[in-house]
C-alpha cells in the first residue's frame, strides 16, 4: 500500500520472531507520515481490538491452498454477504482429519461440503474447524465449499470489507484484507507463504452496478430479476490479502500500456465513478500509468501479470491498496499511481515473508515513486522527494526499518510512513550510492524478482541477492540500516597542506544502535574552474583522509548528489580555532558529549595529556598511545575545558573543549 551489541541485537529479534510465531504482511501509508499508498486519512482510526497480536492455529499449516473460488451476492449499500467459498487444498502432513479455515464470527456458516459430502463443523474464535469424515494422507486433494452469510461491521481503515457513499451519493462496496482481515469477508488461510495458484471471484450485484476484481472479466450474465453476475478469473499465484472486489456505479476507461518493449503491451482497465467530470478530472493522471508501466518493466523486468491486466477501482477510502492486477484507489496522483503499480513487482510478485519484513513491500514501492520522478520528470524532482523523505525520517532520532516481532501488535508500527516507507526508500537509495553502479543496482532488483517470483522473501533474502551479485558481504550495511536505528551525524573539517587536501570526519549517531555507521563519503571539490568528485570510505569514528591536491581549493560540497541520510557540519580550518594544521593534532567531536578522539603524528607518541577547567585545575590526565587516543568525558559536567598535550620533547599544544 501507499501511505531496528550489533549481532546480538539482530539475533535477539530473530529469536523473538520464532518464539512469538507471528507472521504478518502488509503495505500502507499514513498521511501523517506523508505517503500516498493504502494510507488511512487522519480521522480514520483502526480498532486494534480486531488486530492485536495475530496468533494463528498451527493446523493451518497442515495443507497447501491451490485455489479460491468465491461466489458472492452483495449490495454496495451494505456489507451484507450471502454466498460461498470453494477451497481446493493439498494435504502436506502425514494424516489430516480436520481442516481449519479463518473466518470472522460475524459471518454465519450455513453448510460445509467436502468432496461432495455435507459434513459437521465448529465455528468459533474466528476459526472454522471442519471435521473431515476420514483421515487424508499427505498428497491428498480436498475440495471444500463453505456456504455462509452475514454483515461484518467495519472497524476503521483496515476493515476487511467496507461500504460508504461517495461524493455523488452512490454507494460503494470495497475490500481491504491487509494485513489479516480477509477472514472478514471469506473463509481463508492467512499465511503469507501459501499463495493460491489461482482465484475465481463471481459477484452478483443489483441492476446498474459493476463489480471489479482480480484478473480478467470473462463474462457478465443478467439474471431474470435484472441482477448481474460478474465472472472474474485470475491464474497467477496470489496471496490471500491481495484478493479483492469493488462494486459501485462505475464507468470503464481503458487503454493499453507498453511493457519493456514498445512491441509488447498490457491492458489497463479503470473503474471510475460514472460521471463525466470524474473521467475528465483523472484522465491525464491515469494515462501516466503508461509511462510507469514501461519504466518499471525496463528496470525490474516486464510487468509480472501481463497476460491478464492492470487497473484501478475507485473507492472512498483514505489512500490506496495494491490488490493484484486491480489497485483500489482513493485518489489519483503521480506518487500514488506509481507506488501502487510498483507494488506489483514488490509486494505482489515477490511478497514479504513476514510482517517484520514490510520493507520488501513498502520501502521498494516508495522508492518506485522516486524512480518515477527521476526517469519521467527530472532528477531534481526526484531529489526533492528524497529531501522531504530525509526530513521526515530525521524528525525523530530512532526507529528501525525492520519491525521487531514484539512491535507487530501495533498496526501503525508496521505501516509506519517514516520507517517502513520513507526510511525504507532511503535505504535503497543508499545502497545505490554504495554500489555506485546503476546497471548493477537495477540488475540486483531484477534478479531478486526472478529468484523469488510468485513467492515470498525477507530482507535477508534481498541481502543475499546483493551478496551473490557483488561477491561481497553486505551484512554490515543491513545491520546498520535495516536492523539498526537512526542515522549518522558528521562533523567535517578540511584544510590544505602543500600537496594534499585533508578532510577530517568525526561521527556521532542519532540513536544508540548502531554506535557507528561505516560507509562511503562523497565530496565535490571546487578549485578555480575545475570540479572533482572524491569518494572515501569511513570505517572509524574519527578518520582523516588525505587527497592529493596541489591547487587551491575554493569550496567543498559534502554529498553533492544528495544520496546520504545524515546530518552534518562542514567547516574549513580558517573558521576553527582549536585545530593547528601545522601540528596536525586533530580532536573531535567538539562540542563533545561522551568520548573525545585525538589523532596526532607519531612524534607525539609517549607524551602526556591534561584536561583542566578554566581556572587551571587538573581534572584528568593520561599518556598518549600510538597516534590516537580515546578519552571518556561522560563524567564531566557541561562547560568549557582545556586540553593540553605535551610531547616527550616538551612540545605543547592546547585546545578548548566544549562539554555538552
Q: Domain segments of the chain: what residues?
A: 6-23+354-481, 49-255+307-328, 487-574, 577-660
Q: Which fold, 577-660?
A: Immunoglobulin-like (2.60.40)
Q: Is the pLDDT of residue 437 over 50?
A: yes
Strands in 414-518 per DSSP E: 455-457, 488-496, 500-509
Mean pLDDT of 235-259: 98
Q: Which fold, 487-574?
A: Immunoglobulin-like (2.60.40)
**How far apart (Å, rounded) are the C-alpha atoms in residues 42 and 40?**
6
pLDDT band at 158 (very low <50, low <70, confident <90, very high): confident
pLDDT, tens digit (0-9, with 9 covering 90-100), for 452-461: 999 999 999 9
**35-44, 120-129, 210-219, 645-654: segment of lowest average pLDDT:** 35-44
**172-186, 233-247, 303-317, 601-615: segment of lowest average pLDDT:** 601-615
555 bridge partner residues: 526
pLDDT band at 578 (very low <50, low <70, confident <90, very high): very low
* Closest CA relative to residue 52, chosen from 333, 301, 404, 411: 411
Q: Which CATH architecture has domain 6-23+354-481?
A: Orthogonal Bundle (1.10)
Mean pLDDT of 126-155: 95
**pTM score of the predicted model:** 0.83
Mean pLDDT of 123-148: 97
Greater confidence (497 vs 463) lies with 463
Residue positions counted in the chain: 660
Backbone angles phi, psi at 204, to 5 degrees: -100, 130
pLDDT score, position 444: 98
pLDDT score, position 2: 64
- Same fold for the domain at 6-23+354-481 and the one at 487-574? no
pLDDT score, position 531: 95
Q: Which helix (H) or strand (E) holds 429?
A: helix 424-435
Q: Is the pLDDT of residue 27 over 90?
A: no
pLDDT band at 445 (very low <50, low <70, confident <90, very high): very high
pLDDT band at 575 (very low <50, low <70, confident <90, very high): low
pLDDT, tens digit (0-9, with 9 covering 90-100), for 73-102: 999 999 999 999 999 999 999 999 999 999
User: By three-state DSSP, how is residue 451 classified?
Assistant: helix
DSSP class of residue 394 equals: T
DSSP class of residue 154 equals: P
Q: Is the pLDDT of residue 14 over 80?
A: no
Q: Is the pLDDT of residue 50 over 70?
A: no
How is residue 146 written as a grid cell? 463453505
Greater confidence (656 vs 383) lies with 383
**372-376, 523-527, 535-539, 541-545: segment of lowest average pLDDT:** 541-545
pLDDT, tens digit (0-9, with 9 covering 90-100), for 488-507: 999 999 988 878 999 999 99
Mean pLDDT of 585-591: 81
What is the percent of the chain with per-residue pLDDT over 90, rounded to a whole number?
76
pLDDT band at 21 (very low <50, low <70, confident <90, very high): very low
Please say whether the beta carbons of 420 and 401 come within 8 A. Answer: yes
Mean pLDDT of 371-387: 98
Q: What class, spelled out in words, does domain 49-255+307-328 have in CATH?
A: mainly beta
Q: Which helix (H) or strand (E) holds 599?
A: strand 595-599
Q: Is the pLDDT of residue 399 over 80?
A: yes
Amino acid at each position: 500500500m501507499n501511505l531496528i551489541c550489533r549481532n546480538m541485537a539482530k539475533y535477539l529479534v530473530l529469536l523473538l520472531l520464532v518464539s512469538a510465531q507471528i507472521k504478518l504482511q502488509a503495505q500502507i501509508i499514513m498521511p501523517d507520515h506523508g505517503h500516498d499508498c493504502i494510507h488511512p486519512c487522519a480521522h480514520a482510526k483502526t480498532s486494534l481490538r480486531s488486530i492485536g497480536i495475530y496468533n494463528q492455529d498451527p493446523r493451518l499449516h497442515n495443507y497447501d491452498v491451490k485455489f479460491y473460488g468465491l461466489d458472492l451476492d452483495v449490495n454496495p449499500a451494505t456489507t451484507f454477504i450471502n454466498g460461498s467459498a470453494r477451497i481446493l487444498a493439498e494435504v502436506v502432513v502425514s494424516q489430516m482429519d480436520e481442516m481449519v479455515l479463518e473466518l470472522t464470527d460475524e459471518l454465519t456458516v450455513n453448510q460445509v461440503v467436502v468432496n461432495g459430502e455435507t459434513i459437521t463443523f465448529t465455528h468459533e474464535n474466528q476459526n472454522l474447524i471442519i471435521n473431515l469424515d476420514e483421515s487424508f494422507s499427505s498428497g491428498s486433494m480436498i475440495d471444500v465449499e463453505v456456504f455462509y452469510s452475514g454483515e461484518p461491521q467495519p472497524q476503521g481503515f483496515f476493515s476487511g470489507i467496507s461500504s460508504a457513499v461517495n461524493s455523488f451519493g452512490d454507494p460503494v462496496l470495497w475490500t481491504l484484507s491487509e494485513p489479516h482481515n480477509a477472514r472478514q469477508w471469506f473463509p481463508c488461510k492467512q499465511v503469507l507463504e501459501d499463495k493460491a495458484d489461482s482465484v475465481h471471484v463471481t459477484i452478483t450485484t443489483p441492476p446498474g452496478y459493476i463489480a471489479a476484481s482480480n484478473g480478467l472479466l470473462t463474462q457478465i450474465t443478467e439474471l431474470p430479476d435484472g441482477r448481474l453476475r460478474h465472472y472474474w478469473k485470475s491464474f497467477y499465484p496470489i496471496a490471500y490479502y491481495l484478493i479483492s472486489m469493488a462494486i459501485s456505479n462505475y464507468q470503464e476507461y481503458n487503454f493499453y500500456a507498453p511493457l519493456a518493449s514498445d512491441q509488447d503491451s498490457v491492458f489497463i482497465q479503470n473503474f471510475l465513478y460514472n460521471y463525466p467530470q470524474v473521467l475528465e478530472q483523472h484522465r491525464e493522471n491515469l494515462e501516466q500509468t503508461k509511462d510507469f508501466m514501461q519504466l518499471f518493466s525496463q528496470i525490474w523486468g516486464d510487468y509480472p501479470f501481463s497476460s491478464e491486466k492492470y487497473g484501478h477501482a475507485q473507492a472512498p477510502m483514505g489512500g490506496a491498496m495494491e490488490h493484484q492486477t486491480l489497485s483500489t484507489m482513493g485518489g489519483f496522483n503521480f506518487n500514488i499511481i506509481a507506488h501502487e503499480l510498483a507494488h506489483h513487482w514488490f509486494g505482489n510478485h515477490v511478497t514479504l515473508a513476514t510482517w517484520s519484513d514490510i520493507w520488501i513491500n513498502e520501502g521498494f514501492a516508495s522508492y518506485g515513486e522516486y524512480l518515477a520522478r527521476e526517469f519521467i520528470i527530472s532528477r531534481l524532482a526526484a531529489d526533492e522527494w528524497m529531501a522531504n523523505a530525509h526530513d521526515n525520517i530525521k524528525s525523530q532520532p530512532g526507529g528501525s526499518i525492520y519491525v521487531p516481532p514484539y512491535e507487530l501488535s501495533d498496526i501503525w508500527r508496521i505501516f509506519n510512513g517514516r520507517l517502513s516507507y520513507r526510511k525504507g526508500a532511503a535505504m535503497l537509495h543508499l545502497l545505490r550510492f554504495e554500489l555506485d553502479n546503476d546497471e548493477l543496482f537495477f540488475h540486483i532488483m531484477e534478479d531478486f524478482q526472478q529468484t523469488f517470483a510468485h513467492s515470498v522473501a525477507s530482507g535477508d533474502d534481498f541481502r543475499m541477492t546483493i551478496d551473490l551479485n557483488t561477491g561481497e558481504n553486505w551484512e554490515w550495511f543491513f545491520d546498520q540500516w535495516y536492523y539498526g536505528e537512526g542515522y549518522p551525524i558528521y562533523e567535517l573539517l578540511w584544510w590544505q597542506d602543500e600537496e594534499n587536501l585533508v578532510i577530517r570526519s568525526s561521527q556521532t549517531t542519532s540513536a544508540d544502535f548502531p554506535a557507528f555507521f561505516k560507509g562511503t563519503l562523497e565530496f565535490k571539490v571546487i578549485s578555480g574552474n575545475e570540479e572533482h568528485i572524491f569518494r572515501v570510505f569511513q570505517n572509524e569514528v574519527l578518520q582523516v583522509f588525505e587527497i592529493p591536491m596541489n591547487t587551491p581549493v575554493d569550496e567543498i560540497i559534502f554529498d553533492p548528489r544528495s544520496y546520504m541520510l545524515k546530518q552534518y557540519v562542514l567547516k574549513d580550518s580558517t573558521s576553527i580555532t582549536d585545530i593547528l594544521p601545522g601540528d596536525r593534532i586533530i580532536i573531535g567531536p567538539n562540542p563533545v558529549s561522551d568520548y573525545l578522539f585525538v589523532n596526532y603524528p607519531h612524534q607525539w607518541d609517549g607524551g602526556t595529556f591534561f584536561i583542566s577547567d578554566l581556572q587551571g585545575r587538573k581534572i584528568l590526565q593520561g599518556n598518549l598511545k600510538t597516534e590516537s587516543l580515546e578519552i571518556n568525558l561522560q563524567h564531566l559536567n557541561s562547560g568549557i575545558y582545556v586540553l593540553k598535550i605535551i610531547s616527550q620533547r616538551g612540545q605543547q599544544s592546547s585546545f578548548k573543549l566544549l562539554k555538552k
